[in-house]
Amino acid sequence: GSVKEKSKGETIRDVLCEADRRGQKTGAGYYDYDPETRAAKPSPVTEQIIKDFVTKSGKNPRTIPDQEILERCIYPMINEGAKLLEEKKAIRPSDIDVVWVNGYGWPVYRGGPMHYADQVGLDKVLAKMKEFQATMGDVFKPAPLLEKLASEGKKFADMK
């Protein structure tokens, strides 16, 4: 957000921008930046902004476990892969995996997001996506293909 229009303060980012904490250009954002080196260091101002935002929102802060962070990052990728297959933009799940392994540095030993989903179990991926959708909105809405395969006890690898 470099646009200087007044926001509704709906997100922490909005509040930071209202405080002219717009990142490296202004020397402050989520972090404070050294004017010479641009090195980031934790900001007590931002910490207070976040605490005030949380208090105002009425939400209870919590520590998010590593596993949940992984699921919230990876499962939407899997879901988007399912959409690519539904839309016929990818022919096979392995095509998506090849792109991630060779194009984005996905760990080879994990085999790509679609293979990873098969290892975890599509029923588990689907259950978490539904849980996240209920608490964080439709950005986590499961793809119909994911729902179908999970309900049939199948894997992406079963697609022919």
Summarize pLDDT for 69-89 with one digit per residue, the tens: 999 999 999 999 999 999 999
The CATH code of domain 66-158 reads: 1.10.1040.50
Residue 8: band (very low, low, confident or very high) from pLDDT cuts 50, 70, 90: confident
Exposed e or buried b for every residue in 26-55, given b needs 16+ CB within 10 A? eebbbbbbeeeeeeeeebeebeebbeebee
* Spans of all domains in the chain: 12-57, 66-158
Q: For residue 115, is pLDDT > 70? A: yes
Whether residue 140 contacts residue 107, with contact meaning beta carbons closer than 8 Å, is answered with no
Mean pLDDT of the region 27-55: 94
d(CA 41, CA 32): 5
- pLDDT at residue 7, rounded to an integer: 61
Average pLDDT, whole number, for the chain? 93
> How does DSSP classify residue 58?
T
User: What's the CA gap between 141 and 131, in Å, rounded?
Assistant: 10
Match 């949940």 to its residue by tokens: 68
pLDDT at 72: 97
State the Cα–Cα distance between residues 153 and 157, nearest whole angstrom. 12
